[in-house]
């Protein structure tokens, strides 16, 4: 019998009644949109004209005025970026956009996560000061950098914070802050990624510079911001923020540019080294292929490598950089695989899997783990247990660093905030958002913290169904299991966090099964009417040999378009299966 680490259950979404809201669409797509609570064709409009005004972001007027003064006075602008894909794309966008607006000198630094930790710390301000900047701009960080901002101000720098993370009780004393999650902010999307915030800053800046006649005066062309939407799409998808209407517009427009061959050489190269065709790219390709290769630089070495790849204008050089990032990603996977084995051994030793129903929040620590990979590890264990998880690694000087991942319904930053409020001495620092967060504490406090985390999470789980569940949009008929349906769904996105790609379920007879690439299972199935064959693939299967003898499977799957030698066929991309 096939091995099931933890049995899941397939839960079907209620099938909505078609109500005439989207009469121009196929019945299949109508029902998908209605089940995701879209109520009007307006929400399907993915043109840039539907983006809300940048002036709805509080602090924007002030921040733009500082930038205009700096550009006109030829001041040195220094961007301090975060070390993930959102931070890298935000940084590249800032460098390109501000330079195109006429800034005389724009440079950047990325804190080495292993030396300086997260955000604008006093230590990274010391490094920044060596570059002698007039204006320091944070991207995808800074909202919790109280001490770092104070030090930068004391050294005479103007400090502009652009961020999207949730603010704490105290805000930094920056000269200006733009963050859609500031208290009282009226911007309609709270889900902008850091790169989305920077894109909005550039929208507002260009508007004011245009009004003042700056571009004609400076003798430079007014930049078309759409040329950088590929960066915005990559950072937005890779940061796993909710794809609300605003983010769907930004991601859709960025994907369109990539498909039309208008992407930056670095993004094209990142996709190609991962075996993806830019002309057929979808949001998942950014999240599962380009994003991880970009992230690998920040996880294992220096995110500067990733930023330089994004900034590169030369195709062969960009390809060489992307190849290096691809190798780093392979190295990251090897480290992660060993860490997963370690983590599962810890869980087995604790008998944790067997008593998963009694667990609330799970903490794991191993002295050999790599701090650059603990976030991915926490995500993998969270998927296995369907519980909030924090994976910890030592960082030296008796301190450990944790990376937390959560499940829908448990706001992980709120959990940490509640612990910090009740036990002020426990956490050295923390930050993040609903589904992911980071923290650090003294190693000696780990046992107590692990219990506090379990207790606090349990309060947030009251009334929740914690069974492993795959949400399905129901069954598809044999007539719907066709290439046309797959293409309609593919074009109906972009799909992602908060706007999930459709998943369907059904039982199928297995006609052929073989293992490809060591861990993947390739199947040929009969359609429900028993008249046709359809291909299916399951990636990264535990113990794939054990599935080879199955004659009938219950599947949860996505309808996918498979391209091979310019031939497009439909295939099922299996999310879950049981015999």
pLDDT at 22: 86
Of the candidates 448, 343, 446, the one whose C-alpha atom is nearest the C-alpha of residue 400 is 446
pLDDT at 1: 36
pLDDT at 512: 94
pLDDT at 566: 77
3-state SS, 38-53, equals: CCCHHHHCCCHHHCCC
d(CA 30, CA 16): 9
Q: What is the signed CA dihedral for 95, 89, 331, 285, rounded to 10 degrees?
A: -140
**Residue 536, SS3 per DSSP:** strand
Place of tokens 């947030």: 460
The DSSP element (H or E) to which 17 belongs, if any, is none
Work out the end-to-end distance of the chain between its first and last CA atoms, rounded to an integer number of angstroms.
8
pLDDT at 353: 47
d(CA 139, CA 106): 13
Asked if the peptide bond before residue 494 counts as cis, ω within 30 degrees of 0, the response is yes
Mind listing the domains of the chain with CATH numbers? 9-38+469-578 (2.40.50.460), 53-325 (3.90.1640.30), 350-459 (3.10.310.30)
Instruction: Count CA atoms closer than 13 A to 349's CA, side-chain side.
Output: 7
For each of the chain's 579 residues, which pLDDT tens digit applies? 344 445 578 889 988 887 778 888 999 999 999 999 998 889 999 999 999 999 999 999 999 999 999 999 999 999 999 888 999 999 999 999 999 999 999 999 987 766 666 778 899 999 999 999 999 999 999 998 999 999 999 999 999 999 999 898 899 999 999 999 999 999 999 999 999 999 999 999 999 999 999 999 999 999 999 999 999 999 999 998 999 999 999 999 999 999 999 999 999 999 999 999 999 999 999 999 999 999 888 777 778 899 999 999 999 999 999 999 999 888 888 888 888 888 877 777 665 444 545 678 999 998 889 888 888 889 888 888 888 999 999 988 899 999 999 988 899 989 999 999 999 989 888 877 778 888 999 999 999 999 999 999 999 888 776 666 789 999 999 999 999 999 999 999 999 988 999 999 999 999 999 999 878 999 999 998 888 999 999 988 878 899 998 999 999 999 999 887 778 899 999 999 988
Largest CA distance in the chain: 75
pLDDT at 467: 67
pLDDT at 461: 85
Is residue 535 within 8 A of residue 524, CB to CB? The reply is yes
pLDDT at 2: 44
The DSSP element (H or E) to which 70 belongs, if any, is helix 60-72
d(CA 79, CA 135): 9
d(CA 354, CA 385): 10
pLDDT at 4: 41
d(CA 317, CA 258): 19
Q: What is the CA radius of gyration of the chain?
A: 24
d(CA 268, CA 257): 11
**Residue 453, SS3 per DSSP:** helix
* pTM, 2 dp: 0.87
pLDDT at 82: 85
**Residue 236, SS3 per DSSP:** helix
């Amino acid at each position: 019998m096939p091995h099931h680490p933890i049995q899941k259950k397939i839960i079907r979404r209620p099938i909505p009644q078609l109500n005439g809201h989207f009469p121009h669409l196929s019945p299949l797509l109508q029902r998908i949109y209605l089940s995701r609570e879209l109520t009007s064709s307006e929400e399907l409009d993915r043109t840039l004209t539907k983006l809300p005004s940048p002036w709805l972001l509080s602090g924007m007027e002030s921040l733009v005025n500082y930038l205009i003064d700096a550009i006109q006075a030829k001041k040195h602008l220094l961007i301090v970026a975060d070390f993930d894909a959102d931070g890298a794309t935000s940084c590249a966008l800032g460098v390109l956009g501000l330079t195109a607006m006429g800034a005389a000198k724009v440079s950047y630094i990325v804190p080495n996560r292993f030396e300086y930790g997260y955000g604008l710390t006093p230590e990274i301000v010391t490094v920044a000061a060596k570059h002698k900047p007039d204006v320091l701009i944070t991207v995808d960080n800074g909202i919790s950098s109280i001490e770092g901002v104070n030090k930068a101000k004391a050294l005479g720098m103007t400090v502009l914070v652009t961020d999207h993370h949730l603010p704490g009780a105290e805000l930094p004393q920056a000269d200006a802050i733009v963050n859609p999650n500031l208290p009282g902010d009226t911007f309609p999307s709270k889900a902008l990624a850091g790169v989305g915030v920077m894109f909005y800053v550039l929208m507002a800046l260009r508007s004011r510079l245009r009004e003042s006649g700056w571009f004609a005066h400076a003798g430079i062309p007014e930049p078309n911001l759409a040329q950088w939407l590929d960066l915005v799409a990559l950072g937005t998808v890779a940061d796993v923020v909710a794809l609300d209407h605003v983010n769907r517009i930004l991601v859709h427009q960025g994907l369109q540019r990539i498909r039309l061959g208008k992407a930056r050489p670095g993004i094209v190269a990142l996709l190609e080294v991962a075996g993806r065709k830019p002309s057929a790219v979808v949001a998942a390709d950014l999240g599962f292929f380009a994003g991880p290769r970009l992230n690998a630089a920040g996880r294992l070495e220096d995110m500067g490598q990733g930023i330089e790849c994004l900034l590169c204008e030369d195709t062969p050089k960009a390809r060489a950089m992307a190849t290096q990032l691809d190798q780093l990603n392979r190295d990251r996977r090897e480290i992660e695989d060993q860490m997963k084995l370690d983590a599962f051994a810890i869980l087995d030793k604790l008998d944790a899997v067997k008593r998963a129903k009694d667990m609330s929040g799970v903490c794991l620590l191993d002295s050999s783990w790599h701090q650059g990979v603990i976030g991915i590890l926490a995500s993998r264990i969270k998927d296995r247990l369907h519980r909030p998880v924090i994976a910890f690694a030592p960082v030296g000087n008796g301190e450990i660093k944790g990376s937390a991942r959560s499940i829908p319904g448990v706001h992980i930053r709120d959990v940490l905030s509640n612990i910090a409020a009740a036990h002020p001495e426990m956490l050295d620092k923390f930050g993040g958002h609903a589904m992911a967060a980071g923290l650090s504490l003294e190693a000696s406090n780990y046992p107590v913290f692990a219990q506090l985390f379990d207790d606090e999470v349990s309060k947030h789980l009251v009334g929740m169904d914690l069974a492993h569940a795959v949400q399905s949009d129901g069954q598809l008929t044999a007539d719907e299991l066709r290439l046309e349906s797959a293409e309609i769904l593919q074009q109906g996105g972009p799909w992602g966090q908060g706007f999930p790609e459709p998943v369907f379920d059904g039982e199928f007879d297995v006609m052929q099964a073989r293992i490809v690439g060591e861990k993947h299972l390739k199947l040929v199935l009969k359609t429900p009417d028993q008249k046709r064959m359809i291909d299916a693939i399951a990636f990264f299967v535990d113990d794939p040999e054990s599935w080879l003898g199955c004659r009938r499977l219950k599947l949860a799957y996505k309808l996918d378009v498979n391209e091979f030698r310019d031939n497009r066929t439909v295939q099922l991309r299996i999310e879950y299966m049981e015999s």
